[in-house]
Structure 1
Amino acid sequence: MNIKDLYYFQRLISTQSYTQTAADFYVSQPTISQAIKRLERHFQTTLFFRQAKTKALVLTPSGQQLLLAANDIINHWQHVNESISHLRQHTLRLGIEPSVSEHYLPTITKPIIDQGLLKSVHTVEMGANQLVKQVLAGQLDLAISGNLDQTLDERLAVTPLRPFDFKILASPKHPLAQMDEPTFADALKSPFVILNATYLNKLVFRQLAEQLSIEPQILFESDSSTLISGLVREDLALGFVSDVTMLSHQEDLVELPIRGVQVPNVHINLIRRAHQFPIGLFKQVMDIVEQTFKDDAQS
């Protein structure tokens, strides 16, 4: 048995045709038949049978188990090939969430430049959910992403870098800023301006409102921190921000803690596929990222 036999088996079940499967791989039909026989001899079982009326290939329980395993093996094999190719080319694809990028990318980039790695590290920016999907699909090697703790996939190796701390941002003129220990329910009586779906803040904000069964008033969603701080400053809305995405030019605004709801655990994480071993360039970049966050926490 070899891995190509698994490829043939997977495609045969998908196409339901020996002829089509052979054509897809540019081999003869007997090659596909022999691969199936090798698999059945190896496992000493029948993997599928052909239904009399429809001629469909129907998996046996053993065949169902092998197909699930074949899907995983083939995915891992493709990821290994990609990883070795990048090691050979001395390249690494790093994804970073916009809110994290705004605060940390300049600090991360400096040691990458100092160590002569800039040409080898290709950085892209995208939302947290998309980052996780692309790491799992092998399209990214590493990602720095804000994640709800319960949303992380067991196929990922996760290094927590730092927690998020969420706050309400208000104008000093806003009634909320004059109250003693206002709750989140008090805040939801006013309209909010929040970061858009590219940022994790929106998901956390929605979860907090759902705890209170209150539909929040969203005045505006934006990826512009300047616009958000301007609307809050003019007392047109409250802002919902994290200490990672604290807005520029907000020294004259009031930060209020979140009270009366259970704030979900959210961390910035360094994520990779669990079977991806940190060696060479991979380990160099991981060390740079981890040291950047460690230095930031100590400053």
Structure 2
Amino acid sequence: MNSKDLIYFTKLVKTKSFTETANYFGISQPSISAAIKRLNAEFKTNLFFQRSPRGKLSITPAGQILYNRSNEILKLLSVTRNEVKRANDIKIRIGISPVVGKTFLPTVLKILEKKHLEKNLETSEAGSRKLLDELEDGKIDAGLINLLSPINNSKFASQVLRVNSIKLIVSRENSLAKYNTIDFNKLSSENFITMNHQFIHRTIFDIYCRDAHFRPKIIYLTDNISILLELVRQNMGIALVTDKAAEGIDNIKVIDLINTSSLKTYTSLVFRSDFRLTQKQKEVVNTIKQI
């Protein structure tokens, strides 16, 4: 089966028009028709039917089954191509969520440098949700990600490296800085700074607000943890972060939360369950696991 035929097929299901599908790919209409004929022959059935030559194009039950599987097939083909292409690669591509990058990556890089392995690591940064998507699509080999619970998905294999607690952070100039513990339920009138929705910090923040039954006053959204920390440091607002995120930052007070959800995050090293490491990649991964 030609993967292009399957790509044309999935588009035709959506457009229900040979002409529109051909125009989308910049090819002739007969080319689309030929692709569908090849698929019909491959599966020994008709994938579409028309009551008349100009009638409405409809998908058959067999075509619907193929369509339901098509995205999975195409994704697997894409991932396989990437893995075959990189089968002898000495580098491992690891996607890192921002907070993990800030709190974990410097230590990783120092140890890898001592072992002369730093050239075998290629990193990128994104929110935890996006990294899991990129991992599934084969765009990265592994993820260093903060999760709300240890991962339980047959698509992935993972190891928890650290369990993190959730803290409130405020500027030492803020009136709340006099407290060592605080009830989140009493913060409804405060100005909050938080991360965008693709980040686990925002998920945690939303859970706390939901459980406290108030709509927060969010004055700034960011996708950069360093910006969030600096805005808090400058007393522009307060924020929820994992315990390691604000360590060692001047003018920030870390406050324990009481009488509220006891959420934790799990810093995890995550792979696709079918991913096979080369020897150099194994050395990098084993070093990370030992930190």
Aligned pairs, number: 278
- Native 8 Å contact 1:194 1:241 kept in 2: no
Deviation of 1:149 (Å):
3.2
Deviation of 1:51 (Å):
3.9
**Relative to 1, partners in 2 of residues 1:162 and 1:227: Cα closer, same or farther, differing over 3 Å?**
same
- Alpha-carbon distance in structure 2 between the residues aligned to 1:162 and 1:148: 12
Give the corresponding residue for 2:118: 118
- Alpha-carbon distance in structure 2 between the residues aligned to 1:36 and 1:175: 66
Alignment of 1:96-245 (within 5 A): 96-149=96-149, 155-170=155-170, 171=172, 174=175, 177-178=178-179, 182-186=182-186, 188-197=187-196, 200-220=200-220, 223-224=226-227, 225-231=229-235, 237-245=237-245
- Native 8 Å contact 1:7 1:74 kept in 2: no
**Relative to 1, partners in 2 of residues 1:220 and 1:152: Cα closer, same or farther, differing over 3 Å?**
farther
- Alpha-carbon distance in structure 2 between the residues aligned to 1:28 and 1:219: 54
- Native 8 Å contact 1:166 1:242 kept in 2: yes
CA offsets per residue over residues 24-62 of structure 1, 9 Å max, x none?
59x977963662243233xxx443323427544422222
* 3-state DSSP of counterpart to 1:108: helix
Deviation of 1:218 (Å):
3.6
The counterpart of 1:14, out of the listed 2, 11, 20, is 11
Give the corresponding residue for 1:296: none
- Alpha-carbon distance in structure 2 between the residues aligned to 1:134 and 1:259: 36
* 3-state DSSP of counterpart to 1:88: coil
- Native 8 Å contact 1:94 1:124 kept in 2: yes
* 3-state DSSP of counterpart to 1:87: coil
* 3-state DSSP of counterpart to 2:269: strand
- Native 8 Å contact 1:99 1:199 kept in 2: no
- Native 8 Å contact 2:50 2:58 kept in 1: yes
Q: TM-score, normalized by length of structure 1? A: 0.75
CA offsets per residue over residues 260-289 of structure 1, 9 Å max, x none?
222444222222333323343443332222
- Alpha-carbon distance in structure 2 between the residues aligned to 1:37 and 1:23: 23
Give the corresponding residue for 1:246: 246
1:52 aligns with 2:52: yes
Give the corresponding residue for 1:277: 276
Deviation of 1:166 (Å):
0.7
Q: TM-score, normalized by length of structure 2? A: 0.77
* 3-state DSSP of counterpart to 2:122: strand
Deviation of 1:142 (Å):
1.4
Q: Which residue identity does 2:232 align to in structure 1?
A: I
- Alpha-carbon distance in structure 2 between the residues aligned to 1:237 and 1:30: 60
* 3-state DSSP of counterpart to 1:278: coil
- Alpha-carbon distance in structure 2 between the residues aligned to 1:217 and 1:55: 55
- Alpha-carbon distance in structure 2 between the residues aligned to 1:218 and 1:37: 55
- Native 8 Å contact 1:160 1:268 kept in 2: yes
Alignment of 1:73-84 (within 5 A): 73-84=73-84
Deviation of 1:23 (Å):
7.8
Q: Which residue identity does 1:38 align to in structure 2?
A: A
**Gaps (5+ residues) in structure 2?**
none
Deviation of 1:108 (Å):
1.1
Identity among equivalent pairs (%): 18
- Native 8 Å contact 1:194 1:201 kept in 2: no
* 3-state DSSP of counterpart to 2:168: strand
- Native 8 Å contact 2:158 2:268 kept in 1: yes
- Native 8 Å contact 1:208 1:263 kept in 2: no
- Alpha-carbon distance in structure 1 between the residues aligned to 2:200 and 2:53: 52
Give the corresponding residue for 2:285: 286
